[in-house]
Amino acid sequence: MKFLALIAVVVTGALLISGTGDMPDWADPNSPASIHVSPRYIEKTVEETAVPNMVTSVLADYRGYDTLGETTVIFTAGIACILLLRRPRR
Amino acid sequence: MIERFEDVIIQTVCRLLIPFIQLFGLYVIAHGHHSPGGGFQGGCILGASFILLCVAYDIKEAKRRMTEKINVIFCCLGVIIFSGIGAICLMLGGNYLNYSRLHHLLPVNPVDARSHGILGIEIGVGIAVMAVMVSIFLDLASRGEHEEGLK
pLDDT in tens, A25-55: 888 888 887 888 888 888 888 888 888 888 8
For residue A86, give its domain range.
Answer: 33-90
Residue B1: pLDDT over 60: no
Burial of A38 (0-12, 13-18, 19+ CB in 10 A): middle
Of A50, A78, A89, the CB nearest to B115: A50
The arithmetic mean of pLDDT across residues B45-52, rounded, is 93
Q: What is the CA radius of gyration of chain A?
A: 22
Q: Which residues contact B111 (CB under 8 A, 6 or more apart)?
A: A47, A48, A49, A50, B100
**A86 with B139: Cβ contact below 8 A:** yes
Q: Quote the CA–CA distance of A38 and A9 in Å, as a whole number.
A: 35
Q: Give the confidence band of B99 by pLDDT, cuts at 50, 70, 90.
A: confident
Mutation to test the B interface, candidates A41, A54, A58, A61, most B Cβ within 10 Å: A61
Q: Residues of A near B (CB-CB distance < 8 A)?
A: 47-53, 55-57, 59-61, 64-65, 67-68, 70-72, 74-75, 77-79, 81-82, 85-89
A60 in Cβ contact with B115 (< 8 Å): no
What is the tally of structural domains in chain A? 1
Give, in degrees to the nearest 5, the angle at Cα A11 between A9 and A12. 65
Q: What's this model's pTM, rounded to 2 decimal places?
A: 0.84
Q: Quote the CA–CA distance of B13 and B72 in Å, as a whole number.
A: 29
Other CB atoms within a 10 A radius of the CB of residue B84 amount to 14
**B33 with A89: Cβ contact below 8 A:** no
Sign for the CA dihedral angle at A70, B30, A64, B76 comes to positive
